[in-house]
Structure 1
Amino acid sequence: MRRPPAPLWLSQPSRFATLSAGRARVALALLAMLLLATLLALGTPGPPPVSGDPANRADDQTDVVLYETIVEGVRHGGSYYPVAADALRAGDYPLRPFVTFRLPTLAMVQAALPAIVTTMLLYLLAATTALAWLARLRSAFSRGPPLIIAMALLAGGMMAFVQSDLVAFHEVWAGLFVALSLAVRRPDNWTPAVALGLAAVLIRETAGLYLALMAAFAWIEGDRREALGWVAAIGVLALAVGLHAHAVAQVVRPLDPASPGWSGMLGFGFFVRTMTISTALALAPEWLAAPLVGLALFGWAAWRDPLALRVLAITGSYALVLALFGRTDTFYWGLLVAPTMLVGLAFALDGVRDLIVGALDRRRITVTRMVR
């Protein structure tokens, strides 16, 4: 094991700082393969482009308009499940299986509050998430400027999460709750993280994968109480989903259309594509944005911190889900991990430098035997 070089941005050496020359070269080769793989996004289909014309909003944001219609129906006295079923039928959406219906949590809250209050709550949640990550990242960097860059990257990942016209979008809220849960989790104080994770899944059940991964990490690290806390949250989700399925069954008719399924098999390039269109990378050309997604993943692997491993595992798991099961019209699943995605770029500089220095290291240790 070689002596680690002094960090550039980080307050401590990266995870790759002490790799031997051979392992550093292997890691560099794997990084190159990852960056090449991200270019698959250039040939991967994505959602149809939006026109940007307010007059075409119903076509550009059909799902958002659907959710807004349901909220308005409930606000005017309707019951959630009949209102949702009628809205799905009117929009030619599938009504089977039951997961085509969103959980009623968000719609019921929005229907009970004025629209301006809901929007302000979304902004408050986004601001709280940013402040929590500022506190969490403060110790990761040795100086102020890298921390500022990391927060700018966090803002870039949250670009879609502060748009008032997406306030009815379930993944926007769930993604912020997941990001906030990650930021506030501490080994000696994990209860707030579990509560926030539970809030995320009660809005969008696909965040259940986050709960499972956090439970697995806690168990592996030997904290059985924390693991049981996450498992309890999974139990609450299971109960909620069971009740939801029963309620949906009461309003679905035999001739209602079924979903085409979730076996898109669009590959890793589709995950990269979802990240580029869900973050500030949407402003960059695709040939540049795609490799930056790979560098961000590498950056999370480079930061020597338990939180980094959690973010990497969660992001990688949703990448697998999108690659195997995502369709072009379900790209928004990526919003569950988008807020923290780009922050990894702030860790990538030290990681790349350490791999290059390690790969070029040709020092040898000579042992001399002296006989008197």
Structure 2
Amino acid sequence: MHRRALAPLWLARPSRFADVQPRGGRIGVALLALALLFATALALASPAPPAASGDPAKRAEDQADIVLYETIVDNVRAGRDYYLAAADAQRAGHYPLKPFVTMRLPTLARVQAALPRTVVDGLLYLLCAAVMIAWWARLTSAFARPPPRLIALTLLAGGMMAFVQTDLAPFHEIWAGLLIALSLGVWKPGRWLPAVAFGLAAALIRETAGLYLLLMGGIALVERRPREAAGGAVAAAVLAIALLLHAHAVAGVVRPLDAASPGWAGQRGPGFFVRTMALSTALAVAPLWLAAPLFALSLFGWAAWRDPLAVRVLALLAAYGIVLALFGRLDTFYWGLLIAPLSLVGIAFAVDGARDLLSAAIDTRRITVTRLIR
């Protein structure tokens, strides 16, 4: 007997697993349980990034990267050329200058140098508010009632915990991560131009956000949205030109004896990805044995939401998860900030998905044929 789809519990439309059959439900429950177990075990086995001391007197050690970017901004504000200022600051801090990607694109430093610090802080808050507003509008159509909508928005705020700390404003991943979240929040089928524009802005601040542009363009191509795919290709081309100009400018200030990067073949594995996301969000206040399965549950939730936007968010999380697992080092855990804002929202979608799988798994109804003799 074919099992009928269940009515939604929180969602406005049935989840992706609403019409799964008993056998598929049992397989799905088993896979979900294994995913939660493995995420926890791998995260607990993964080494932790170096912890900050919390001593204000040791800020130069605890937030060395922030101090570096602040120094560069101050020097550019004083009239120095960005590339000369960045090269001198990185040498003084014993940072590598080879290859050229070890020096950040000049976009953020030049903008911040042109504005008072209070204006920069205000822009950061405005961008956070824009992300919240865009996703509130998007979640309104996803959930049938206000309570789960508010829970999802709270989870969004939990993913943005680090993004409202103004002392992190010089950090490139903060702005790029918010712009990626805003790009996804304003995306709709047929309304892709603002999403591409915000995605390109993110990539021009932190070039590793270029992966997001490629993902969005690739998914649009698979879904046969040629204009959106072409828009993504144009944005990727603009980023490529910016990187070529950046490489040329960096080459003009690098000296033969400048240090080279140790490389990015960290190969820390998926546990490092899970631990990184726990540290980058409100899950940092929870013990890792609880934070890890909650993050894995969020990934499941994004898979459960039957919407084209969910496909894009899940692809984003998976792609950067692979990057962190293969190339992340202990001191590059901050890459996770690029995807942190949306990393917990999936927990709200997981309620319907888990209910549907469990209901299918315990469904033992059978067809009984009774022969009637008159």
TM-score range, shorter chain: over 0.9
Q: Say if 1:254 and 1:7 are closer, same or farther in 2 by CA, change over 3 A.
A: same
Q: Which residue of 2 aligns with 1:27?
A: 28
Distance in 1 separating the partners of 2:325 and 2:80: 38
Instruction: Describe the SS at the equivalent of 2:66.
Output: helix
Asked if 1:4 corresponds to 2:22, the answer is no
Distance in 2 separating the partners of 1:338 and 1:230: 22
Distance in 1 separating the partners of 2:364 and 2:122: 58
Q: Which residue of 1 aligns with 2:359?
A: 357
Q: Which residue of 2 aligns with 1:202?
A: 204
Asked if 1:108 corresponds to 2:110, the answer is yes
Instruction: Describe the SS at the equivalent of 2:8.
Output: coil
TM-score by length of 1: 0.98
Shift of 1:291: 0.7
The one of 300, 304, 313 equivalent to 1:302 is: 304
Report the aligned-residue RMSD.
Answer: 1.4
Q: Which residue of 2 aligns with 1:97?
A: 99
Report the residue type matching 2:356 in the other structure. Answer: D
Distance in 1 separating the partners of 2:48 and 2:332: 10
Distance in 1 separating the partners of 2:145 and 2:371: 46
Distance in 2 separating the partners of 1:253 and 1:371: 98
Q: Say if 1:369 and 1:245 are closer, same or farther in 2 by CA, change over 3 A.
A: farther
Shift of 1:370: 9.4
Q: Which residue of 2 aligns with 1:158?
A: 160
Q: Which residue of 1 aligns with 2:317?
A: 315
Q: Which residue of 1 aligns with 2:64?
A: 62
Instruction: Describe the SS at the equivalent of 1:102.
Output: coil
- 1:22-79 CA distances to partner (integer Å, 9 max, x unpaired)? 1111111111121112121112112211122222111111101100000001000100
Report the residue type matching 2:14 in the other structure. Answer: P
1:189-268 counterparts in 2 under 5 A?
189-268=191-270
Paired residues of 2:188 and 2:309 also in contact (CA < 8 A): no
| More off after superposition, 84-93 vs 32-41 | 32-41
Q: Which residue of 2 aligns with 1:14?
A: 15
- 1:313-351 CA distances to partner (integer Å, 9 max, x unpaired)? 110010000000000100011111100010000011111
TM-score by length of 2: 0.97
Shift of 1:6: 2.2
Paired residues of 1:297 and 1:344 also in contact (CA < 8 A): yes
Instruction: Describe the SS at the equivalent of 1:14.
Output: coil
Instruction: Describe the SS at the equivalent of 1:231.
Output: helix
Report the residue type matching 1:314 in the other structure. Answer: L
Distance in 1 separating the partners of 2:13 and 2:228: 27
- Give the gaps of 5 or more residues in structure 2: none
Paired residues of 1:129 and 1:179 also in contact (CA < 8 A): yes
Report the residue type matching 1:2 in the other structure. Answer: R
Distance in 1 separating the partners of 2:356 and 2:193: 36
- Give the gaps of 5 or more residues in structure 1: none
Q: Say if 1:241 and 1:368 are closer, same or farther in 2 by CA, change over 3 A.
A: farther
Paired residues, what number? 372
